[in-house]
A and B are shown apart, each in its own frame.
Chain A
Amino acid sequence: MRVPLITRKIPTLAAALTFVAVLPVLVACPKHEDFPQPLDVQPVPVPQNFVITQPDPQVNDYDFQWTIDDPNGIVDRYRIYLVGGEFSADELLSETDQTTLLTSFPFSIQGLRFAVSAVSSENVEGSQAQKIAP
């Protein structure tokens, strides 16, 4: 039986296609494995009752205060931020190991938003509590 020309050419074409298809499949064959263990870090409590007061309206000194519910004693220190500072990023103003911070500004901070967060001894920083300065 005479084989048509197209049938005789198909093997070459098919193999070429197979060849072209196989290589990318083989090259891109990483595997997903070794799901890592969760990091051994404890949840960090969020500061509560965050308030900003100005003891003397004539002076730009402000008192930041907050409370913390930390029965396990994992909080090591606190970070106070100006929210939406330079380049719209949170700007770290200060760190303290107390639940109060008295600080001076060269200008009035009225209407600016501030935040406080707790940092554990493992260096994990928890969620922020935010407040707008009066």
Chain B
Amino acid sequence: MTRGKTMRAAAAFAAALFVFSVASPALAGSGTGSVVRSILLPGLGQAHDGHYTKATIFASAAIVSWVGLFATQVEYSRTTERYEGYKNTYLYYNDQLAAGQVILESDIQATYDSMSKAYSEADSDETWRNFFVGALIVTYAVNIVDIIISQPETGEVQKDPAMSLEWTGEQMRVVRTIRF
């Protein structure tokens, strides 16, 4: 039940992201536009603000994390499914023995060994899956913080002030430079 609720909440979140993405062009140019983009995919907001190097780094990290998460989750699901199959077979031996059915000792041992191996593999796969979940969370968090605190790149070049103060002995001069 808890898993079902989590899945529904996550699916709703994903759907909300999708709706946001469709609506995001309407937000282009606004301050929240970059944040929304960065929520959708790290680096998009930075790209929108003109920070292309940071955008590349965040987008690469997010894509690698997503791909890693997807791949390890699929592998973890397969291993878990295999483990559950062995576990059900193993537990069913109890019922069969209780019902007077003869079971080969070698079958019981082989199933136990396979079940233990599948459990260890599932443990390992879960660790890798959690690693990519962590990487994804860190990438999104750093990305959001970055997009909130950084200023948009305007393309303007900071120029020397056209007017300056100069000290000559005990006098102060205001110098205005005019270039032709």
Contact = CB atoms under 8 A, between A and B. Distances in A.
Interface in B1-37: 3, 7, 10-11, 14-15, 17-18, 20-22, 24-25, 28-29, 36-37
A26 B7 contact: yes
Interface stretch (A39-47, A49-57, A60-68, A108-116): A39-47
A38 B112 contact: yes
A124 interface: yes
Contacts of B29: 3
B141 interface: no
> Range of interface residues on chain A?
35 or more
B48 A7 contact: yes
B83 A125 contact: no
Interface string A16-39: 101101111111111110111011
A39 B95 CA distance: 11
Q: Which residue among A1, A34, A35 has the maximum number of chain B CB atoms within 10 Å of its CB?
A: A1
A39 B93 contact: yes
B47 A127 contact: no
A89 interface: no
Tell me if A's interface is mostly helix, strand, loop or mixed: mixed
A30 B66 contact: no
A14 B41 contact: yes
Contacts of A39: 90, 93-94, 97, 108, 112
> Range of interface residues on chain B?
35 or more
A27 B87 contact: no
B98 to A, nearest CB: 9
Contacts, number: 134
25 contacts: A1-B152, A10-B41, A10-B44, A11-B41, A11-B44, A14-B44, A15-B24, A16-B21, A21-B70, A22-B14, A25-B69, A26-B11, A27-B7, A28-B74, A32-B123, A32-B126, A35-B87, A36-B115, A39-B90, A39-B94, A39-B97, A41-B97, A123-B101, A124-B97, A125-B103
Interface of B: 3, 7, 10-11, 14-15, 17-18, 20-22, 24-25, 28-29, 36-37, 40-41, 44, 47-48, 50, 66, 69-70, 73-74, 77, 79-81, 83-84, 87, 90-91, 93-94, 97, 100-106, 108, 112, 115-116, 118-119, 122-123, 126, 152-155
Given A25-B73, A29-B73, A36-B115, 8 more contacts: A11-B25, A16-B18, A22-B11, A31-B126, A36-B90, A38-B112, A124-B102, A125-B105
